[in-house]
Amino acid sequence: MTEFDARRDAVPHESGIIVVDYRDPNAPALFAESLRRTGFGVLTNHPIPQPLVEQIYSEWLGFFDSEAKHNYLVGEKHDGFFPPAKAETAKGGKKRDLKEYFHIYSWGRYPDEVSDAAKRYFDLAHDLAEELLTWVDDNTPAEVKAKFSVPLPEMMHGSEGTLFRILRYPPLTGEEDPDAIRAAAHEDINLLTILPAANERGLQLLNGEGEWVDVPFDFGMLVINVGDMLQEASGGYYASTTHRVINPAGDSRFKSRVSIPLFLQPRPDVVLSERYTAGSYLGERLRELARNDKT
Ligand SMILES: O=C(O)CCC(=O)C(=O)O
Ligand SMILES: [Fe+2]
């Protein structure tokens, strides 16, 4: 297939995101172009098995419905369970998000009550993420690439900072603060985020015209978005796009939504720009979030 044919077949979604077939020989270029245009890319026919994702959704829903989660309450090191009362308030946001979640790190706590499916997913998604960073690195123009202190995949070598967040947005009760939503508008702090389509819709991005548009949602798709660290390292060539999760209407109000973003964090010593290393950047952003925390 010529480059022209591959481009013609890759029809952009109304969000501007290009839905890319992972097996397409032109996938790396199309994927990088989608990230450049919208801050997001979506992959089909990728190597993450959908049954593994579904197993995580179902067994972690059971975990969040159980009392056992309280045995893993988050401490100083930020691994473990964040109950709704400890959920984050987005930078610049006014209300706490309507969610609870568990933070998994390679070195951190992991519940005895679930199988190792989430650990297996972490490893698979991490390997894929390194490949995607290679795609992006290979398809970045030389003048932008010259800004990277090391090639993008190398920024991850030996990193222990990558965070796997298992999120549960509980059913709505009607008692919520009218200004609170499942996840208020925010940008991710890290390099790239990998996110399988959730079991329920709700994820939206803010496009260049200032409109909120749905991110392509078909079950089985993998959504990847640019975080602030890639924006910083690329001098803004790749923009970290604002996104949010809106509250459901109709019968979906009575359903939980589960979603499992993996946030790729470079090694703390990696130089992102003249201003920041990955470590100094993360420290600054976590201090901002802590200031914003209304406890
Ligand atoms: O739940 C989702 O679909 C997105 C979650 C998200 O954006 C985040 O946790 O940073
Ligand atoms: Fe996010």
Q: Does domain 3-294 have CATH number 1.10.3720.10?
A: no
- Whole-angstrom CA distances from 70 to 31, 102, 187, 255 are 40, 11, 29, 22
Each residue's pLDDT tens digit, 86-104 = 888 888 778 899 999 999 9
Instruction: Verify whether ligand 1 is closer than 6 Å to residue 90 (CB atom).
Output: no
CB of 227 shorter than 6 A to ligand 1:
no
SS3 155: helix
Residues 159-214: tens digit of each pLDDT: 999 999 999 999 999 889 889 999 999 999 999 999 999 899 999 999 989 999 99
Which tens digits make up the pLDDT trace of 254-280?
A: 999 999 999 999 999 999 999 999 999
Which of 259, 262, 265, 285, when mutated, tests ligand 1's pocket best, judged by the most ligand atoms within 8 Å of its CB? Answer: 259
Nearest CA residue ID for atom 9, ligand 1 = 261
Distance 101 CA to ligand 2 centre (A): 13
Could you report the per-residue pLDDT of 203-252, keeping only the tens digit for each? 999 998 999 999 988 889 999 999 999 999 999 999 999 999 999 999 99
ipTM value for the complex: 0.99
Ligand 1 center from residue 195 Cα (angstroms) = 8
Stated pTM of the model: 0.94
Residue 10, pLDDT > 70, answer: no
Q: How far is the CA of 146 from the centre of ligand 2 (A)?
A: 28
- The two tokens of residue 28 are 């790396």
| Per-domain boundaries in the chain | 3-294
Q: For residue range 41-100, what is the model confidence (pLDDT) as tens digits?
A: 999 999 999 999 999 999 999 999 999 999 999 999 999 999 998 888 888 778 899 999
**CB 272 within 8 Å of CB 212:** no
CA proximity to 98, closest of 184, 212, 214: 184
Amino acid 244 reads R
Q: 283, 196, 280, 192: which is closest to 239 by C-alpha? A: 192
- Does the beta carbon of 183 sit less than 6 angstroms from any atom of ligand 1? yes
Q: What per-residue confidence (pLDDT) applies to 295?
A: 47
Cβ 196 under 6 angstroms from ligand 1: no
